[in-house]
Amino acid sequence: MAKIVKLISKNFGNITPGSVEDYVKAGGYAGLRKAMQMDPQKIIEEVKKSNLMGRGGAGYPTGVKWEQAYANPNKPEYVVCNGDEGEPGTYKDRFILSKDPLRLIEGMTIAAYVFKIKEGYIYVRGEYLGLQDIINGAIKNAEKANYLGDNILGSDFSFHIQVVWGAGAYVCGENTALLESIEGKSGRPRKKPPYLTHVGLHQAPTLLQNVETYSNISYIVEHGGEEYASYGTKYSGGTKLVCLSGNVVNRGVYEIPFGTPIREILYEIGGGIPNGRKLKFVQLGGSSGACFKDDKLDTPMCYKALRDNRLKLGSGALLVVDDSNCVIDFLKCITEFFIHESCGKCTPCREGNTRIYETIDKFSKGEAKLEDLSTLSRLSEVMKNASFCGLGQAATTALTDCMKYMKDEFLEHIDGHCRAGVCSMFSEEE
Ligand SMILES: Cc1cc2nc3c(=O)[nH]c(=O)nc-3n(C[C@H](O)[C@H](O)[C@H](O)COP(=O)(O)O)c2cc1C
Ligand code: SF4
The tens digit of pLDDT for each residue in 39-60 reads: 999 999 999 999 999 999 999 9
State the average pLDDT over residues 97-117: 98
Predicted confidence (pLDDT) per residue in 269-316, tens digit: 999 999 999 999 999 999 999 999 999 999 999 999 999 999 999 999
For residue 429, name the pLDDT band (cuts at 50, 70, 90).
very low
Q: Measured from the CB, is residue 205 less than 6 Å from ligand 1?
A: no
Gap from CA of 331 to ligand 2 centroid (Å):
19
Q: Tell me phi and psi for residue 283, to 5 degrees.
A: -115, 125
Helices 407-414 and 371-386 pack at an angle, to 10 degrees, of 130
pTM exceeds 0.85, yes or no = yes
Ligand closest to 104 (CA) is: 1
**CA-CA distance, 37 to 21, in Å (whole number)?**
22
Domains of the chain in start order, with CATH, are 20-229 (3.40.50.11540), 239-322 (3.10.20.600), 327-426 (1.20.1440.230)
Whose CA is closest to 8, among 270, 213, 315? 213
Instruction: Name every residue whose Cβ is closer than 8 Å to that of residue 223 and which is 6 or more positions away in sequence.
Output: none
| Residue 430 pLDDT greater than 50, yes or no | no
Gap from CA of 368 to ligand 1 centroid (Å):
36
Task: Give the sheet arrangement for strand 279-284, strand by strand.
Answer: 252-257, 239-246, 317-322, 279-284, 290-292
Q: Tell me phi and psi for residue 281, to 5 degrees.
A: -160, 170
Gap from CA of 113 to ligand 1 centroid (Å):
23
**CA-CA distance, 286 to 121, in Å (whole number)?**
25
Ligand closest to 60 (CA) is: 1
β strands within 191-333, DSSP E: 206-210, 239-246, 252-257, 279-284, 290-292, 317-322
> Does residue 205 contact residue 196 with C-beta atoms inside 8 Å?
yes
Predicted confidence (pLDDT) per residue in 5-42, tens digit: 999 999 999 999 999 999 999 999 999 999 999 999 99
